[in-house]
Chain A
Amino acid sequence: MTVAAESKSSRKARAGAAKLSVRMYRQGLGDCFLLTFSSKKGPRYLLIDCGVITGTDKGKEVMTAVVKDICTTTRGHLHAVAATHEHWDHVSGFVQAREAFDDIKQIDEVWLPWTEDPIDPLAQKLVEGRRKAVNSLRQAAMKLRAAESAMAEPLERLLGFSGPLAAGKGQTTAEALEYLRKRVAEPKYCRPGDQLTLPDVEGVRIYVLGPPVNETLIRKSDPTKKGREVYEMAFAFGMDSAFLTAVDQLDKRVEDLSVDEAQKRVLTQPFDRALQIPKDEAADQPFFMEHYGRPGDTAMKWRQIEGDWLDSAGALALKLDSDTNNTSLVIAVELVESGQVLLFTGDAQVGNWESWSGGSWEIDGRTVKGADLLARTVLYKVGHHGSHNATLRAGGLELMASKDLTAMIPVDRAIAMAKVPPWNMPFPSLLKRLEQKTSGRILRLDRKLEDLKANGKPEGVSAALWSRFRPRLRGDEKDELYVECDFPG
C-alpha cells in the first residue's frame, strides 16, 4: 500500500517537471521499458518489451514482480504495448507472468513490427522459416548433447533467445505474442514511415523506423566487407534445406514418412537410394568394419565423424538469431519543442539500422531524416544488451551528436559472462565509446542507483554535470526493481 501511495505522489510531483520518463526494469538479461508521457488528462503509458533470457534464476517470479509493478504504476491501464521482436528475452513476461498481466485490465493498443503481420506474405515466410528452423535446431542440439559434442552447450545457450529448449505449453515466444495480440481487437503492424500516437499526449511524435520492408536488409546482420551480404542471402534461401531435412528426419524410417516428406528426403540426399548402403548394413561390410569400425568403437572413435555434420547447426543458429534481431521494431520518440529524440532499437542489427539511419520519410508534409533523428538523440536504448553487432557504429552511434546523450543498457554482465563460452556483453570497445559519447551517463540494469552514488560517476566527468544528471534518476524503494530517468524536454 505504501509503495503504491508513494508512487502516486511522486507521479504527481513529476507530472509538471518531466515531459517523459523512461523506466528500465532490472529483471536480468532482457528488455522491459515503461515510458510515462505527461498529458493534460494525466499520465499515459507505453510498455516496450517485457522479457528475460531463458535460464534466468526464478525467471517467472522476477517477471511477475515486474508486471505487478507495471500494473500498480499504471493503475491497470497501459495505453500501448510494443513488442519489438520474437525473442524470449523481450517477450517472456507475456506468458511467464500471464496472471499478473491479466490484472492489467486495459490495454488500448498493441504495436508489433510488420514482420508479424499474419496477412503479409513476406512476414509469414519469415515467421514460418524461423519457427521451422528453431524446431530443427532444437533437435540438432539434443542430438549433439547426446553425442557429448562441445557444440551442444553453446548452441543450447544461443537457442535460449528463442525460448526454453524443451518448450511446453505457455513457454514459447509464439504464445507470448499470441497473448498480446488477443488483448486488443486489432494489433497495429508497424511499417517504416508510420507515425504512432498516444491519446491526449501533445508535443510528442512517435516514428516507426524499422524493420525495413526489404528481405535483403533483414538478412544483413553483421558489419561486413564486400561479398558477405550476398552470401547471407543465399544462405537463407534453401541452401540449408538439405541440412534441416536431415535433422527433421533423423532416426525416422522411410516407411514412416509421408509421401511429401519422403520426396523431400530423396531430393536432399546426394545419391539415388540404389547407390546407398544403409548404415546398419555397413556393419556387415568388411571394408567399413576394418577402416571405420562401429560408431563409438573405442579404438576407432577418434577419427569417426558421426556427429560432425550437426556442428553446422551453430552457424544456422547464429543466422537465425541475427535475422530475428533484424525484425526489431525501431521507434523514435520526438519531443517536438526541444527537438530531443529517444531511440528504442530493440535488438536491430546492421541491415535494420542501415535502412533508416541514412533514409528519410515524408510524414504530414515534413521530411524526417534518420540521420537528423540520430543527431538529436538524447536517449539511446542500447541494442542487444550491448553486444558488438547491434549498434551501428559509423552510421549510428557516431551520428549521435547531442551533448545530453544518455544510454540505457539492459545488460547484466555477470549473467552474460556466466554463459559458455562467456558472452562478452556489453562489448568493451562499444561500452568505452558509449561512455565517451554520453559523458558517463550510462544506466545498466546490473547497477543499482546506490552503485551510481558510490562509484557510478565516471572519471573525468565534472561534478557539475553529474549533479545535474543525478536528480533526474529515480529507483523503487528497495532500489531493486527498476531505475527511471526523466526527460524534461
Chain B
Amino acid sequence: MAAKEPEISPPSFRRLRTYAFDPSVATQLETAVLNVATLQIPWEQPGQAPLEPGPIDEYLEVIDIDPATGACYAPVDLDHRYLLAQDGLPPSEGNPQFHQQMVYAVARKTIAHFEQALGRVVLWSPRRIEKNGDPADKEFVRRLRIYPHALREANAYYSPEKRALLFGYFPASTTDPGRLLPGGMVFTCLSHDVVAHETTHALLDGLHRRFVEASNPDSLAFHEAFADIVALFQHFTFPEAVRHQIAHTRGDLASQNLLAELAQQFGQAIGNHGALRSAIDDIDPKTGRPDPNKYLAATEPHDRGAILVAAVFDAFLSIYKTRIADLLRIATSGSGVLPEGQLHPDLVNRLAAEANKAALHVLRMCIRALDYCPPVDMTFGEYLRALVTADYDLVPDDDLGYRIAIVEAFRLRGIYPTDVRSLSTESLRWSKPTITLPIQDLNKLWLQWKLGGNREEIHNRTIKNQQDVERWVKDKNIDKDMAKQMGLAFFDDAPASIERSQDGLPEVEIDSVRPARRVGPDGQQTTDLVIEITQSRRGYFDPQRQKDADAGKIKDPGDFNFRGGCTLLIDMETGGIRYCIGKYILSEKRLKAQREYLSQDNRETLRATYFGTGRSGDGAEPFAMLHRDFERRA
C-alpha cells in the first residue's frame, strides 16, 4: 500500500506574506525592498482545529464585519491551492482578503512566540458567567476574535469583554500626513506593530486577568509597554529587514532605525512626523545617560510605558554589543574601529544573525518573566525582579551578562524595586521564603500542560486544578502565620471589608494554576508549579470609612477594589516553596498608595471628567479609553 500511496507528512509551517512593517515603508525608495515579510506560521497540530476560511484556526477567528460601512468582506481561504502555492495573497491595501491574511499571520506569529517562550499552549481569558450567587463558571474561549475593520477612527484595541481585537481605519491627516497621501486611507490592521501590540494585550490578559486594573501608575503602563516590547522584538525576526538596517546603520542599532521604531504609518498619518513611538529614548547630553527622573514624572500610561520599553531595548543593545564584539575585532584586525564606507555583506549577515539571536533571547526573557510576577498590582520594579529570577531559573550561568545588562538599563532609568538591599542580580532575585506548606495533596494536580494538545481539555483540567487548589487552601492547609507571609487574610478575624464567600469566611480566588519549566542545577529540565491566590477588599477614599468598613459597619460596594495575594512557585520534585511573591491584602501602605493614585492622577484628564476612568465596572472598554485618551495611540 505504502508504495501506491506514499505517506506525506504535514509541513511544519505555512508561509504567509505580510507587510514587514506597514504599507508606508514600501513607498520610500530606500526601504521599498523591505516591503514584504514572509512569516512562517505553525501548521495546525494534531488535536487542534484545522484552518478554515476566515481565517479561522485553533486560536483565532477573523470575522470581517464593517458596521460603519454596513458591509462584510468575504473570508479568505488560505488553503486554496493557488494561495498555498504562492505564500498567500500578495500585499495590497485595496484587498480586504489580504488584510485578513495579514492580521491573522501576525497575530498567529505573536502567539507562537509566547508558546515557545512559555513551553505550553496559550489560553485566552475564559468567559466568566455569573450564576446568581454561585462562583463564576469559567467558560472556555477557544478563539480570540479579530475584526480587521471594526472602527472608523485612528484606534485599535483589545476588548477584554468580547475577547476580541477591534481594528480601525481612518483617512490620514489632510494637512500634515508626512510621506503619506493626504486623506488617504490608513488601516491599523496592516501595521505589524499594531496587530502584534493588540494581540499581546489579549495574551497578557489571558495570563494575568488583574493586570488591566489600574491600581498603581505602573499597571496600565506595563500592559502598554509589554505589548510594545513584543512588537518591537518581533522586528528582529525579519531577516531582510535586519540585514538592511544593519547595513544602513553600519551595525550601530543604537542610532535611529526602522527596527527600533513602532507604527511608522500610524505615526505619520496622525501628524507625528515619524513613527508613533521609538524604543530609543533621549540621552541627556551632559551625563550621556537617560533622565532617571522621567519615570517618576510620567503619569500617562504610554509615556510611562515608553520608559520600560527603552530600558529593555537598551539592555538588548548591550547584549548585542557583547555578542558582536569578537566579530568586530575579527573584521577590523583587532582595532574594533570599522573603516569608512559600507560593511562587508558577510559581516552584515553575521551581525544580523547575532541581532536576531539577542532579540529572541530578550523577547523570551520578557515573556517568561510573566510566570514570576505578583498576581495583582505589579510595579516595574517587581517586573525587574521577575525578569532576573526567570532568567536565572533558565540560564543559571549568566556568562554573557544578560541579567547585568537588564539591571543596568533599568537602573539608569530610575526603575528599581524599593524593597531590596542592593541592585546586585542576587538580591534582585525573589528570595526563598521560610514557609513550608503541606503540598503532598497537590501532587495529584495535572501538570501536562505543554506545547500542542487539545486546548479545551487543557482548559478543563486547569479549571479542575484551580478548584482542587482552592479546596486545599480552604482545608486549612495554611496556618495564620503562613497566610500573613503570603499576603493573605482568610481567617475569621480578617477585616470585614475583605470579600466573603457563602460560608462567611474570607473568599480566596485561585486565578491560575500552571506549570513553569526551568533548568535545574544538574542541567535537567524540571517543572515548577505556579499558583496564584488572590483576595479582594473593598477600598474607600475616606480613611474613616475604610475603618468602618473593616469593622463591618459599612456594607456598600466601596469606592474601589483593593486586591492582594501571592504567586507561589513550588518545586514539584522536592515539595519546597521556591518563591512566594506576595502583595499584602492587609498592607495599609499599599492601600493608601492606591487610594491616592485613584483619587488624583487618574481623574485628571478631560476624558475622565466626562466619561469616567474606564475602571472595570463602568461598562466601558478599558483599552479603547486608554488609547483614545486624546491621543488615540494604538
B270 at the A/B interface (Cβ < 8 Å)? yes
Which of B61, B155, B172, B173 has the most C-beta atoms of chain A within 10 angstroms of its own C-beta?
B173
B185 at the A/B interface (Cβ < 8 Å)? yes
A366 at the A/B interface (Cβ < 8 Å)? no
Assuming the contacts A238-B183, A305-B67, A309-B153, asked whether A277 and B270 have C-beta atoms less than 8 A apart, the reply is: no
Residues of chain A with a CB closer than 8 A to B438's CB:
none
Assuming the contacts A242-B170, A271-B73, A277-B73, asked whether A157 and B610 have C-beta atoms less than 8 A apart, the reply is: yes
| B96 lies within 8 A of A279 (CB) | no
| A309 lies within 8 A of B63 (CB) | no
| A423 lies within 8 A of B630 (CB) | no
* Complex partner residue of A303 from B74, B163, B618, CB under 8 angstroms: B163
Residues of chain B with a CB closer than 8 A to A146's CB:
none
| A429 lies within 8 A of B600 (CB) | yes
Cα of A292 to Cα of B162 in the assembled complex, Å? 12
Cα of A278 to Cα of B150 in the assembled complex, Å? 15
| B630 lies within 8 A of A154 (CB) | no
Residues of chain B with a CB closer than 8 A to A231's CB:
270-272, 630-632
Count of chain B residues near A, Cβ 8 A = 74
Q: Which residue of chain B is the closest to A281 with respect to CB atoms?
A: B72
A388 at the A/B interface (Cβ < 8 Å)? yes
Question: What is the CB-to-nearest-CB distance from B279 to chain A, in angstroms, rounded to a whole number?
Answer: 16
Question: What is the CB-to-nearest-CB distance from B220 to chain A, in angstroms, rounded to a whole number?
Answer: 16
* Complex partner residue of B72 from A228, A237, A246, A282, CB under 8 angstroms: A282
Question: What is the CB-to-nearest-CB distance from B64 to chain A, in angstroms, rounded to a whole number?
Answer: 9
| B164 lies within 8 A of A154 (CB) | no
* Complex partner residue of A279 from B70, B185, B611, CB under 8 angstroms: B70
A387 at the A/B interface (Cβ < 8 Å)? yes
Cα of A164 to Cα of B275 in the assembled complex, Å? 41
Cα of A5 to Cα of B187 in the assembled complex, Å? 70
A452 at the A/B interface (Cβ < 8 Å)? no
A436 at the A/B interface (Cβ < 8 Å)? no
* Complex partner residue of B68 from A157, A232, A246, CB under 8 angstroms: A246
Contact with A along B607-629 (1 / 0, CB 8 A): 10111100000111100100010
B54 at the A/B interface (Cβ < 8 Å)? yes
Which of B66, B95, B168, B624 has the most C-beta atoms of chain A within 10 angstroms of its own C-beta?
B66
Q: Which residue of chain B is the closest to A419 with respect to CB atoms?
A: B610
| B65 lies within 8 A of A158 (CB) | no
| B173 lies within 8 A of A234 (CB) | yes
| B147 lies within 8 A of A305 (CB) | yes
Question: What is the CB-to-nearest-CB distance from A240 to chain B, in angstroms, rounded to a whole number?
Answer: 8
Q: Which residue of chain A is the closest to B94 with respect to CB atoms?
A: A271
Cα of A192 to Cα of B176 in the assembled complex, Å? 27
Residues of chain B with a CB closer than 8 A to A21's CB:
none
| B152 lies within 8 A of A388 (CB) | no
Which one, A66-74, A99-107, A311-319, A469-477, is touching chain B? A311-319
Number of A-B contacts (CB under 8 A): 204
Q: Which residue of chain A is the closest to B175 with respect to CB atoms?
A: A237
Q: Which residue of chain A is the closest to B173 with respect to CB atoms?
A: A234
Q: Which residue of chain A is the closest to B75 with respect to CB atoms?
A: A287
Count of chain A residues near B, Cβ 8 A = 64
Q: Which residue of chain B is the closest to A269 with respect to CB atoms?
A: B69
Contact with B along A234-274 (1 / 0, CB 8 A): 11011111110010000000000000000000011111100
Residues of chain B with a CB closer than 8 A to A388's CB:
604, 609
Q: Which residue of chain A is the closest to B619 with respect to CB atoms?
A: A150
Q: Which residue of chain A is the closest to B611 with respect to CB atoms?
A: A154
| B169 lies within 8 A of A270 (CB) | yes
Q: Which residue of chain A is the closest to B612 with respect to CB atoms?
A: A421
Query: Can you sample 19 A-B contacts with CB below 8 Å?
Result: A150-B619, A228-B631, A231-B272, A231-B630, A235-B270, A237-B173, A238-B171, A243-B170, A267-B183, A268-B152, A270-B69, A270-B187, A272-B94, A277-B74, A288-B63, A308-B166, A309-B68, A311-B624, A318-B610
B contact residues vs A (CB 8 Å cutoff) = 53-54, 56, 61, 63, 65-75, 94-96, 127, 145, 147, 149-155, 159, 161-164, 166, 168-176, 182-183, 185, 187, 269-273, 300, 303, 600, 603-607, 609-612, 618-621, 624, 628, 630-632
A contact residues vs B (CB 8 Å cutoff) = 150-151, 154, 157-158, 221-222, 225, 227-228, 230-235, 237-243, 246, 267-272, 275-279, 282, 285, 287-288, 291-292, 302-303, 305-309, 311-312, 314-315, 317-319, 322, 387-389, 421, 423-424, 427, 429
